Structure 1
Amino acid sequence: MRARELGLELPGRPGPDNAITDVPGVEVGYTTLIEGEAVRTGVTAILPRGRDGFDVPCAAGWHSLNGNGEMTGTAWLSETGVLRLPVLITNTHAVGPCHRGVIDWVARRKPAAADQWLLPVVAETWDGYLNDINGPHVRPEHASAAIDAARPGPVAEGSVGGGTGMNCYGFKGGSGTSSRQVSYGSATHTVGAFVQANFGSRKELTVCGVPVGRELADDDPLEAFYAGAGSVIAVIATDAPLLPMQCTALARRVPLGLARTGTTGSHFSGDIFLAFSTGNPEAFDTAFPRGEPGYEQASFVPWNRLDDFFEAVVESVEEAVLNALLGAETMIGRDGHRSPGLPVERLLDLLRTPRAAIRP
C-alpha cells in the first residue's frame, strides 16, 4: 500500500507512477537478499539514462546533512558537477563489492568506457540490526544483477534492494519513492525522489503534520538498540535542464522534506543526498579530450524560477519516506531481532483524531 492509496492528504501533483521513474529515462532495479535467519540486505540501482545511456553524463550535485555515512564519487562530483554510471545504494559494509560490481558491469557492457577511469557513486545505510552486516553476503555480481534488473515504470517499495534490512522511526523501513510534476511555461517537467529510509526515532514520527510517534510508542524493540541513528540516502532526479550548482540546490532541499516526517537529524545518522538532471544530454562530456577543441552549450532554468522545483523536492521526499514505511512489513532478522511494521489502522485512527487530543 502507498500513502495516497490510504487517502493521506499530501500536496502536489504526482507523475503517472508517482515514482522517480516518472522522469523519462530513469530506471530502478533491485537485488534483494533474504537468506536463513541472518541475511536481510541487498542492492538498489538507479540508472539516470537507462542501461543504453549509462555513460552519457548528467549535471549533478550532492549535499550532506550529517556525514556519518558514505557516498563514493562525491569528490569528482564536486570537481566537475557531472554524474556518469549507475548509482547504487546498499548496506554500509557492502560499498566495496558494489563499487567493484559497477566497474565489472561497465567492462562487460561497453569495454571502451572502462578504458578510462570509473568513479561510481555508491551510497549506504546501516542494516546491522536485522542483517549479518559483517558477512560477505553482498558480492559484485549482486550489484551487476541490480543494474541488469533496472526498469522504468512502477517501483517496488519497502523491504527490497538496499532497503531490505532498514528501519525508519522505529518501524520497518526501506526503499520508497514519489514524484511531482512541475509546470514551467508551456512545458511540464518532473521531479522524482528515491529514499533508502533508515533513520529517526519513534517519538519523532510525524505524518501529514500530525505528531503520531508518541502515540505509537509501544512495541518499539529498536528503542534500546539505536534510537534515532541509522541514515538516509536520497536521490533526486529531474528532466528539467539544470546546471550542476542548481542540482546541488535541489539536494539541499531534501532535509526539508525529511523534516516534515519528524526527524531532527541524529548525529549518528548519515544523511547524504544526490540530485541530477537529465537535461542537456550533450553538454557535460568528461571524456579525455581528442581532436580539435570546441565549446559546449547548455540551456537551464533561471535561478529565479527554481522555487517550484524546490517545492517538488520537499513534497516528493516526504511522500517517499511515507511510502517506504507503508510498503514494509514486520521483519525478523539476525539474533531474532524484530522490526515491526507500521500499524496502519492505528495510524489512520490517529489522523482522524482531533489534533488537540494528540500528545506533541
Structure 2
Amino acid sequence: MRARELGLRLRGRTGRHNAITDVAGVEVGYTTLIEGDDVRTGVTAILPRGKADFDVPCIAEWFSLNGNGEMTGTTLIRETGQLRLPVLITNTHAVGPCHRGVIEWVAREKPRVAAQWLLPVVAETYDGYLNDTNGAHVQASHAIAAIDAACSGPIAEGSVGGGTGMNCYAFKGGSGTSSRVVEYGRDIYTVGAFVQANFGARNELTICGVPVGEALGDDNPIEESDWKSGAGSVIAVIATDAPFLPGQCAALARRVPMGLARTGTTGSHFSGDIFLAFSTANVQTPSVYPVGDPGYDHLRHVPWNRMDDFFAAVVYSIEEAVLNALLAAETMTGRLGRRSPALPKDRLAALLS
C-alpha cells in the first residue's frame, strides 16, 4: 500500500509513477538479502542518467543536517558541483564493498572511464537492530547486481534494497519514493525524491498534521529494547530535470529536512541525515583530459527568484516518500529474534478520520 491508496490527503501533483523515476533517465535497482535468522540487508542503486550514460556528469550538491553518518564522494561534488557514476545506498558497515562494486561495474562497462580515478557516492543507514551488520554479507557482487537491475518506471518500496533492515518511527521502515510536477511558464518539470528511512521515535510520528505516534505507542519492541530512541539515520536523494546551478541543488537538498519534519522528527543525534540533489538538465562534458581545443560547458538555470515551487516540491515529495516507506513495509523478524512491527494501517486510518 502507498499513502494515496490509504486516502491520505497530501499536497502537490505527482508524476506518472509517483517516484524518483518520473525524472526522465533516472533508474533504480535493488539487491535484497534476507537469509536465515540474521541477514536483513541489501543495496539500492540510483543511476541519474541510466546505465548507458552513467559517466555523463549531472549538476549536483549535497547537504548534511547531522553528520552522524556517511556519504562518500561528497568532497568532489562540493569541489566541482558535479555528480557522475551510480549512487548506492546500503547499511553502515557495507559501504566498502559497495564502493568496490561500483568500481568493478564501471571497469566492466566502460574500461576507459575506469582508467581514470573513480570516487563513487555510497551512503548508508544503520540496520543493526534486525541485521547482523558486522557480518560480511554484502559483497561487491551485490552492488553490481543492484546496478544491473536498475530500471525506470514504478519501483518497489518498503523492505527492499538498502532499506531491507531499516526501521522508521519504531515501525518497519525502509525504501520510499515520491515525485511532484512543477509548472514553470510554458515548461513542465519533475522533482523526484527517494529516501532510505531509518529514523524517528515512535511518539514523534505525525501524518498529515495529526500526531499519531502516542496513540500508536503500544507494540513497540524496538524502543522497549536497548535501542536508542530516534536512532538510525536517513538518506535522501532528490532528482530533477529542471535546469539548476550547483548552489541551487544545494538549496534543494537543504529543503529535505522540512519534508522530514512534516512526519514528526526533531533530528536525533543518533540519526545521520545526509541529502544529495542533482539535475539532469544540463548535459556536461564527461570528465576526460582535453585534447586539442578544450571548449566550454554551458549552463542554463532557473532564476533564483523563481525557485519556490521547486522547494515546495522537495518538501512534499520527501514527506510522501517517508509515508510510502512506512506503509509498504511489513512486519519483520530478524537478528536475535528481534521484531519490527508494521505500521497498523486500519488504526492509522481511524485516527486520521
Identify the TM-score tier after normalising by the shorter chain: over 0.9
Q: Which residue of 2 aligns with 1:319?
A: 320
Pair 1:339 & 2:335 matched? no
Shift of 1:284: 5.1
Q: Secondary structure at the residue paired with 1:122?
A: strand
- Which amino acid counterpart does residue 237 of structure 1 have in structure 2? A
Q: Which residue of 2 aligns with 1:250?
A: 252
Asked if the contact 1:20/1:191 (under 8 Å) is kept, the reply is yes
Q: Secondary structure at the residue paired with 1:229?
A: strand
Shift of 1:304: 0.7
Structure 2: how far apart are the matches of 1:296 and 1:271? Answer: 32
Shift of 1:271: 0.2
Deviations 1:96-152, CA, capped at 9 Å, x for gaps: 000000000000000000010100000000000000000000000000000000000
Shift of 1:226: 1.9
Structure 2: how far apart are the matches of 1:142 and 1:340? Answer: 27
Shift of 1:290: 2.4
- Which amino acid counterpart does residue 213 of structure 2 have in structure 1? G
Q: Secondary structure at the residue paired with 2:189?
A: strand
Pair 1:163 & 2:137 matched? no
Deviations 1:38-95, CA, capped at 9 Å, x for gaps: 0000000000000001000000000000000000000000000100000000000000
Structure 1: how far apart are the matches of 2:118 and 2:155? Answer: 27
Unaligned runs of 5+ in 1: 353-360
Shift of 1:286: 3.1
Q: Which residue of 1 aligns with 2:124?
A: 124
Q: Which residue of 2 aligns with 1:296?
A: 297
Shift of 1:278: 0.1
Asked if the contact 1:15/1:179 (under 8 Å) is kept, the reply is yes
Q: Secondary structure at the residue paired with 1:158?
A: coil
Q: Secondary structure at the residue paired with 1:257?
A: helix
Pair 1:190 & 2:203 matched? no
- Which amino acid counterpart does residue 279 of structure 1 have in structure 2? A
Shift of 1:288: 2.4
Q: Which residue of 1 aligns with 2:351?
A: 350
Q: Which residue of 2 aligns with 1:233?
A: 235
Shift of 1:303: 0.7
In the superposition, the TM-score normalised over structure 1's length comes to 0.97
Structure 2: how far apart are the matches of 1:192 and 1:178? Answer: 6
Deviations 1:145-190, CA, capped at 9 Å, x for gaps: 0000000000100000000000000000000000000000111000
Structure 2: how far apart are the matches of 1:18 and 1:28? Answer: 14
Q: Which residue of 2 aligns with 1:355?
A: none
Asked if the contact 1:58/1:284 (under 8 Å) is kept, the reply is no
Asked if the contact 1:82/1:284 (under 8 Å) is kept, the reply is no
Structure 1: how far apart are the matches of 2:38 and 2:292? Answer: 55
Structure 2: how far apart are the matches of 1:267 and 1:296? Answer: 41
Shift of 1:295: 2.0
Root-mean-square deviation over aligned CA pairs: 0.7
Q: Which residue of 1 aligns with 2:58?
A: 58
Q: Which residue of 2 aligns with 1:268?
A: 270
Asked if the contact 2:25/2:152 (under 8 Å) is kept, the reply is yes
Asked if the contact 2:55/2:286 (under 8 Å) is kept, the reply is no
Shift of 1:296: 1.8
- Which amino acid counterpart does residue 254 of structure 1 have in structure 2? V
Q: Which residue of 2 aligns with 1:356?
A: none
Q: Which residue of 1 aligns with 2:216?
A: 216
Asked if the contact 2:179/2:317 (under 8 Å) is kept, the reply is yes
In the superposition, the TM-score normalised over structure 2's length comes to 0.99
Asked if the contact 2:178/2:321 (under 8 Å) is kept, the reply is yes
- Which amino acid counterpart does residue 109 of structure 2 have in structure 1? R
Q: Which residue of 2 aligns with 1:174?
A: 174
- Which amino acid counterpart does residue 244 of structure 1 have in structure 2? P
Asked if the contact 1:59/1:284 (under 8 Å) is kept, the reply is no
Q: Which residue of 2 aligns with 1:18?
A: 18
Structure 1: how far apart are the matches of 2:236 and 2:213? Answer: 22
Structure 2: how far apart are the matches of 1:35 and 1:212? Answer: 33
Q: Secondary structure at the residue paired with 1:230?
A: strand
| Within-5 A mapping of 1:77-156 | 77-156=77-156
Asked if the contact 1:177/1:323 (under 8 Å) is kept, the reply is yes
Asked if the contact 1:14/1:181 (under 8 Å) is kept, the reply is yes
